[in-house]
Chain A
Amino acid sequence: MATAVSGAPKRSRSSRLELIGGQILAFVGAALFAGVIGGIIIVLYGENPLFVYATVLNYATARPEDIAQVAENATPLIFSGLAVAVAFKAGMFNIGVEGQYIIGMLTAAIAALYLDRLPGVLLVPAVVLSAVLGAAAWAAIPAILKVKTGAHEVVTTIMMNGIAISLVAWAILNPLKSTGEQSVDLRTNLFPGKALMPSLAEPLGLPSSVHLTLLFPIALLACALVWFFLYRTRLGYEVRAVGSSSGSAEAGGISIGAAQIKVFLISGVLAGFVGLNHLLGDKGYLGNNYEVGLGFAGIAVAFLGRNHPVGIALSALLIGVLIRGEDGIALSTELPTEVLIILQGVLILSVVVAYELVRRTVARRQLREEAVVEAAAPAEA
């Protein structure tokens, strides 16, 4: 009989658990698959895959400082993954996280260098705020262009990325160029020590070569905040409605343009944090050798994490492991480190396929058992 069965909501929790469990299994299965493909490549290079993988794992987890290193690697990726994901929820593709965080580093550097009269407790927040405002402003341009003129954000953000890179290059060559003795590197002056991000290395008794800072717990907090934003606030609701059915959202009184601009600004704010660990936790100056590609990596992280904050945190950590492993591979094998990049690519593809398989199997199995459960993953889908 086609009657609604009561008590469904109670059981649906267990089904969601089953789905999450299934997704973890899918992840592991996909990782194994990627491992096999990667193994074949490694064998072709004449190395032993088991040894290589053991090396990666060893380098990533053996000592507390290794784990800290993984967390350090994950910090910017969490922010960039979140930045991509929130825009994606509104149906927009923020390819510009890259340019936005680069501008964020520039505005952060300006604050760190010119607001040096502030005491540390104020200077650090001021520097962070400056990064966030710079990145958000950079994000605002393509968002406004999109809403006002219809220019597609993918095209405009890619162009904005190019401009950002040139702008930083110009700034460190001209107005921000270091005034000290002839340095080999093209860079700004060193920031005052009080402008740097408080390190967690010392409190945790780790060597100072680890640049784990307060930004890592902040990144985890950002995951929680983004979740809350998406699923518990009105704007998050509107953003998701616009993302999955703009016509119905519009008829529901939601301004599509306003929602898109707002969510792009939020995406920009998150992007502003991406470069800070590198800038304020590691280097202490902005040079022409700054870390690039974190914004693009965020696309992969968001993809792997299914645009869900928890998934993003986990996949950022996983990629953190692989990055850490690159050091190990470089030191103890003859392999080019690109092998791990190939591995990442295979992993992303197989995980995406595996998630979908699991979603379907779980739904089907629950049907067979005639359990009264929820089939689809409502939030993560």
Chain B
Amino acid sequence: MTATEVTTPAAPEDGAPLVVFEAVTKRFPGIVANDSVDLTLEAGEIHALIGENGAGKSTLMRVLYGMYPPDGGRILVKGQEVKVSSPRVAISLGIGMVHQHFVLVDRFTVTENIILGAEGGPVLDVGDAEHKIAELAESYGFAIDPHRRIEELSVGQQQRVEILKALYRGVDLLILDEPTAVLTPSEAGELFDNLRKLRGDGKTIVFISHKLDEVLEIADRITVLRRGRVVGATRPQESSKNKLAEMMVGRPVLFQLDKPEVQVGEPVLKVEEVGLGNHLNGVSLEVRAGEILGVAGVEGNGQRELAETLIGLRTPDSGRFSLAGEDVTGLSVARLRKLGVGFVPEDRHHRGLVLDMTLWENSVLGRQSETEYSSRGGVLAIRKIKELASRLVEAFDVRARGITVPAATLSGGNQQKLILARELDDEPVLLIAHQPTRGLDVGAIEFVWRQLLDQKAAGRSVLLISAELDEIYELSDRILTIYEGRISGEYPSDAPPEEVGVGMTGGRAEAGAGATVTEL
């Protein structure tokens, strides 16, 4: 039997909703992540779940997916009470989930990852599976090569693999935990087309997102969680971005910030003709003091390599880059950090946090050699580090049960806040911020944007690498586009988005009103 043939065994009661949560409660030590939640998912709807970081969205869906046993309440699927004791059971009930943080095996190919756990027998028919996957991918318009290894894929592509994984198992209900966090607007648009197609097929989709515009665009119904409780439910036509934001955070949120006027100073970072394998091809750019330079681009066009080169994780094959006039090509991460470079990675789990370690241990990562945090003899100044951790947690409103819990227990957005707090705390001369607000709620995004603007107002610099055009426009003083490892265009901050969009897809925009396209 192949996975796609798995059918739901229960005789559905006619007219019963697909899934009903009744007073579902889930506790973690010291925290009630879901507090008596009632929620109904109707067959064939796209149901958006929104709420602040740590509101309990992921937890609620993990309970449904069988990852955590609920501490109270019950779950009905098609009118029948079920005990979802594991994801395997969930899948047999027709429930699939794509996690906020992917669970793929890096070394395996796309096909191997998709069939992993759904092999359906002792003998693998990889050829057959590959064929099926290619078909499935095509029917939903996912451009993906089934032979590629996961480690070679961009985050956006990895996500498509995750979605395919669920579809391959023939689910009726697809839970997507922040699926668009890693997609560009156009990719998100494609995803939405696919989701509508799936809805047309009678599938139900739970869509968790912090992007309220998307929620308004795609959802049939919207449920808002705050601090573990359902605080409201609405429909897109009855609501607006501002209303949703206020329901989420409990206060009005500003979506537009004033950019402080700052006299830009000397170049801080100067990148000249940097090349790296086939990832970067003669990249040149310049960030000046008091400036935020935005690098816009579709995920997987060399952004990760650029960011990692500039923090010293990779050594360029050609070209050089300098910091305040001093050539720093090839210096180690430690040296660059000492010179005042901060780094917010796009992948918080593999480049940002040591998940097994406590918050206080993570707070000092990157600064452990500073004399304030360890003596010359190499003994950690634990009290000082804990003070630092408390300060970071307080300043960035990291919601956690204390600083001695492992970083793994934080919600995604709170993990991100911890990294941002750490990297901004020692006032870096240059902050390399790669997707800094990925996974943050609207309130937190506003907060982080303010921090980045403050960084600039204080005369420091930010290299902002983002696939979010909103973010690029909100913060940048100048905009570059990156495409296939090359800088494909330069634009002033008031250039029309369509032009920047052209640069992001590799075309060279003709200079439009007020826009200059410089070939670098």
Residues of chain A touching chain B, judged by Cβ–Cβ distance below 8 Å, are: 1-5, 8-9, 12, 232-235, 237-238, 240-241, 244-245, 247-255, 363, 366-368, 370-376, 378, 381
Contacts and interface: CB of A to CB of B under 8 A. Distances in A.
B379 A2 contact: no
Contacts of A248: 349-354, 365
B352 A251 contact: yes
Interface hub of B28, B29, B333, B345 (most chain A Cβ within 10 A): B29
Interface hub of B30, B228, B349, B378 (most chain A Cβ within 10 A): B30
A227 to B, nearest CB: 13
B32 A2 contact: yes
Contacts of B400: 4
B337 A253 contact: yes
B333 A253 contact: yes
Contacts of B358: 378
Nearest to A368: B71
Contact of B404 (A2, A9, A247, A368): A9
Q: Interface SS of chain B: helix, strand, loop or mixed?
A: loop
Contacts of A374: 29, 404-405
12 contacts: A1-B32, A3-B31, A4-B401, A8-B401, A234-B378, A240-B354, A241-B357, A248-B354, A249-B354, A249-B365, A251-B313, A378-B406
A-B pairs, top 8 by smallest CB distance, nearest first, are A253-B334, A252-B365, A252-B366, A247-B350, A2-B228, A234-B374, A245-B354, A2-B227
Contacts of B380: 232-234, 237
B464 interface: no
Contacts of A240: 354, 357
B284 interface: no
Contacts of A378: 358, 404, 406
Interface hub of B56, B353, B378 (most chain A Cβ within 10 A): B378
A219 to B, nearest CB: 23
Interface hub of A9, A238, A252, A375 (most chain B Cβ within 10 A): A252
Given A12-B404, A233-B378, A240-B354, 4 more contacts: A5-B30, A248-B350, A253-B369, A372-B401
Contacts of A363: 29
Bin chain B's interface residue count: 35 or more
Given A234-B380, A374-B405, A1 B228 contact: yes
A251 B311 contact: yes
Contact of A251 (B27, B30, B31, B343): B343
B71 A367 contact: yes
Contacts of B511: none
B356 interface: yes
Contacts, number: 133
B366 A232 contact: no
Interface in B385-422: 399-402, 404-406, 409
B402 to A, nearest CB: 4
B379 to A, nearest CB: 6
B368 interface: yes
B431 interface: no
B520 interface: no
A237 B30 contact: no
Contacts of B229: 1
Contact of B227 (A1, A8, A371, A381): A1
B310 to A, nearest CB: 12
Contact of A2 (B35, B71, B361): B35
B356 A381 contact: yes
Interface hub of A248, A376, A381 (most chain B Cβ within 10 A): A248
A12 B357 CA distance: 16
Nearest to A5: B30
Contacts of B409: 376
A364 to B, nearest CB: 9
Contacts of A251: 311, 313, 333, 343, 345, 351-352, 366
B8 interface: no
A251 B344 CA distance: 10
Interface string B355-387: 111100100011011000010001110100000
Interface in B27-76: 27-33, 35, 54-56, 71
Contacts of B55: 2
A3 B404 contact: no
Contacts of A366: 29
B332 interface: yes
Nearest to B374: A234
Nearest to B400: A4
B37 to A, nearest CB: 12
A255 B56 CA distance: 37
Contacts of B345: 251
A370 B28 CA distance: 9
Contacts of B379: 232-234
A258 B358 CA distance: 23
B368 A252 contact: yes
Contacts of A373: 29-30
Nearest to A373: B29
A368 B382 CA distance: 32
A251 B409 CA distance: 21
A376 B334 contact: no
A138 B311 CA distance: 35
B378 A4 contact: no
B30 to A, nearest CB: 5
Nearest to B402: A8
A249 B374 CA distance: 17
Contacts of A245: 349-350, 353-356
Contact of A237 (B349, B361, B405): B361
Given A2-B32, A253-B337, A374-B405, A247 B351 contact: yes
A5 B401 CA distance: 6
Interface hub of B31, B351, B365 (most chain A Cβ within 10 A): B365
